[in-house]
Structure 1
Amino acid sequence: MKKIVLTLTGVLLVAAAVAQTTISTEERKKALSHLKKTQSELTSLVNGLTESQKNFKPDENSWSIAECLEHIAISEKNLIGMIQMGLEGDSDPSKRSEVAMSDEQILGLITSREQKVKTRKEFEPTNSFDGFDGTLKTFKERRKSNMKFVKSTDADLRNHYLQFPFGLIDTYQGILFMSGHTQRHTDQIREIMENTDFPS
């Protein structure tokens, strides 16, 4: 009997250890909900635009809606790639104290349009997809794949990290950053559509 009790205790300790190294059900739901919401807002906003609306630029230094959408689609692949690279190797709980921001602060930072940031070259739109519809299709496919990852992963997202210019974040926050990035550029598209010269 004593042996059985010890065995059960060992199983419970292992289960507890696993529970501590995977995101909670609530965290998973939060990430998926935000990913769904930002996809829905983007696709609804760009639905039914004319060619002139898709390609309108407020000025020579600004992106068009088509370019914003392509940037989002490119980022959807590049950011998940960064997250997957961050998950390589062993987890490191000792670095938790170095994480620069809370989840809410990460979302607040990336979604704010107050500070403009020039993107890296590999994130720039280059008309690399099959037109606007092809770009939107690519975004949807990549978002579907990324949501599947979030639904199924048992990776230790809180104890693997990404180094960003503003500081260290964990890979779960990287997922929130990716979703918030979509929101940021959806808001940019809204700004373009609100321009007084935007085609009717």
Structure 2
Amino acid sequence: MKKLTTTTICIVFMLTCMGQETISKIKRQKALNHLKQTQSDLQVLIKDLSDEQLEYKMDESSWSVAECLEHIAISEKNLIDMIKMSLNEDSDPSKRSEVAMSDDQILSLITSRDQKVKTRKEFEPTDSFGGYNNTWKTFQERRKANIKFLKTTQADLRNHYMQFPFGLIDTYQGVLFMSGHTKRHTDQIKEIIASNNFPQ
């Protein structure tokens, strides 16, 4: 009888844990949709570009389309690594009040092209993947893995945090930031394509 009671308690505990949502289904789906949409938008924009178009720069200080893509692929790993590192720390609901922005404000901040920001050295493109095709393949693999992470994680994404220059954000917002970062540089690629001397 004692064994049965213990087993029953364990089953109830497991079912309870399985039923818990660390983020709401709506929020999880919102981020998943954004990750998929920004990947799709980028693919549609660059899929038919020639080598000349991929390498074109508006001026000496500007990035090419290929360099923008490499930066996106690099960031895809660096940002998810930051998120996972934050999840290794203890969750802390008491810090919720220190979160600097809402989800929508995070997306608005990172996607806006009004203010240019110089990236950190570890995020700079250096032809690290050996050409455009490998870069695109790497980005796709990393985005696929990050979508899987978001689909399956049961981590408390709202009560783990990341410190950015503009303030504290939670790790769910870190995922939105990563996806919004793709849109930011997709818009940069649009600017390159729309420039007067872009190869036809």
Q: Same fold (TM over 0.5)?
A: yes
Task: Name the CA distance, whole Å, in 2 between partners of 1:90 and 1:19.
Answer: 18
Please state how far the C-alpha of 1:89 moved relative to its aligned partner.
2.0
Runs of 4+ deviating beyond 6 Å: none
Q: Please list the CA deviations of residues 8-46 of structure 1 after superposition, one character each: whole Å capped at 9, or x if unmatched.
A: 9xx59x948x736x0111111001000000000001100
What pairs up with 1:89-104 in 2 under 5 angstroms?
89-104=89-104
2:27 corresponding residue in structure 1: 27
Can you give the 5+ residue segments of structure 2 that lack an aligned partner in the other structure? Answer: none
Please state how far the C-alpha of 1:135 moved relative to its aligned partner.
0.3
2:109 matched to 1:136?
Answer: no
1:182 corresponding residue in structure 2: 182
| TM-score, reference length from structure 2 | 0.91
1:160 counterpart letter in structure 2 = H
Task: Name the CA distance, whole Å, in 1 between partners of 2:23 and 2:175.
Answer: 12
2:62 corresponding residue in structure 1: 62
1:40 counterpart letter in structure 2 = S
2:83 matched to 1:83?
Answer: yes
Task: Name the CA distance, whole Å, in 2 between partners of 1:130 and 1:117.
Answer: 26
SS of 1:115's equivalent in the other structure is coil
| TM-score, reference length from structure 1 | 0.91
Please state how far the C-alpha of 1:130 moved relative to its aligned partner.
2.4
2:115 corresponding residue in structure 1: 115
2:173 counterpart letter in structure 1 = Q
2:37 matched to 1:46?
Answer: no
Can you give the 5+ residue segments of structure 1 that lack an aligned partner in the other structure? Answer: none
Q: Please list the CA deviations of residues 37-87 of structure 1 after superposition, one character each: whole Å capped at 9, or x if unmatched.
A: 000000110001111100000011110000000000000000000000110
1:165 corresponding residue in structure 2: 165
2:179 counterpart letter in structure 1 = S
Task: Name the CA distance, whole Å, in 2 between partners of 1:15 and 1:100.
Answer: 32
Q: Please list the CA deviations of residues 81-119 of structure 1 after superposition, one character each: whole Å capped at 9, or x if unmatched.
A: 000011012100000000000000000000000000000
1:64 counterpart letter in structure 2 = S
Task: Name the CA distance, whole Å, in 1 between partners of 2:159 and 2:58.
Answer: 42
Aligned sequence identity (%): 68
**Aligned-residue RMSD, C-alpha:** 1.9
